[in-house]
Amino acid sequence: MRILFLFVSLIVPAIVQARIGESVTQFADRYGMPKNTVSTKAADKMSPLIEGAIQRTYEYQGWKIRAAFLQLDGPCVRVDYQKIFKAGTNPQIQDYELEAITLANTPAGMSWKKVAFHNPASPDKIFNKAVEAYFGEAFGQKMWQRTDGAILWERSGLIVRLELPAARDYEAQMKATSEQKARASVSQF
């Protein structure tokens, strides 16, 4: 166990240094300027971390880090960590890498606890949530919650997502606004 802790403490600075809740400037200080390529722009538009948020993609020591900020000077509210695919690299996130990400995102005085998997994007129907909780882990979906409400979600062993409650609150607010606009645009029959 001591060897694993020593190994993890040595790779934490190498793998994951930016943390959920940090600013665009702090991310840039750790990783340099974000990647601004056609493929990263296309990926951010086709699959945004948060619709309408400021998205930044960084590459660092074999990892792709996508971060979403609700304001340019605000904190990162959602971040995805994923290995960059290349020959000879196992794209699966190993337990010790997940542990390094978790440790790097655990401020003093906080802790994580495993929770039943629940996809925030799926319908809030009892049957859907029961199926997710039962089968989620079988399909590589694992979830933990930090004492401040932040969520860590291992997605099929290929992506680790961290998000603050502000990300979910923002999405719920955007959904409610969209539904209000849709209702207001209905013709008066």
The answer to whether residue 187 is domain-embedded is no
Strand order in the sheet with 141-146: 54-60, 63-69, 76-83, 159-163, 151-155, 141-146, 112-115
Helix, strand or coil, per DSSP, at residue 169: helix
The answer to whether residue 185 is domain-embedded is no
The answer to whether residue 47 is domain-embedded is yes
Domain count, the chain: 1
Helical residues (DSSP H) of the chain, grouped into ranges: 2-15, 24-31, 38-46, 95-104, 126-135, 165-184
Q: How far apart are CA 142 and CA 13, in angstroms?
A: 24
Q: How far apart are CA 85 and CA 157, in angstroms?
A: 14
The answer to whether residue 57 is domain-embedded is yes
The answer to whether residue 21 is domain-embedded is yes
Q: Which residues of the chain have pLDDT under 50?
A: 1-17, 129
The answer to whether residue 80 is domain-embedded is yes
Report pLDDT for 31.
82
The answer to whether residue 155 is domain-embedded is yes
Q: How far apart are CA 164 and CA 35, in angstroms?
A: 23
Q: How far apart are CA 175 and CA 47, in angstroms?
A: 17
Report pLDDT for 24.
93
DSSP string of 60-109? ETTEEEEEEESSTTSBEEEEEEEEPP-TT---SPPHHHHHHHHHHT--TT
Q: How far apart are CA 66 and CA 78, in angstroms?
A: 8
The answer to whether residue 189 is domain-embedded is no
Which domain does 26 fall in, by range?
2-177
Report pLDDT for 53.
94
Report pLDDT for 122.
53
Report pLDDT for 46.
85
Report pLDDT for 89.
87
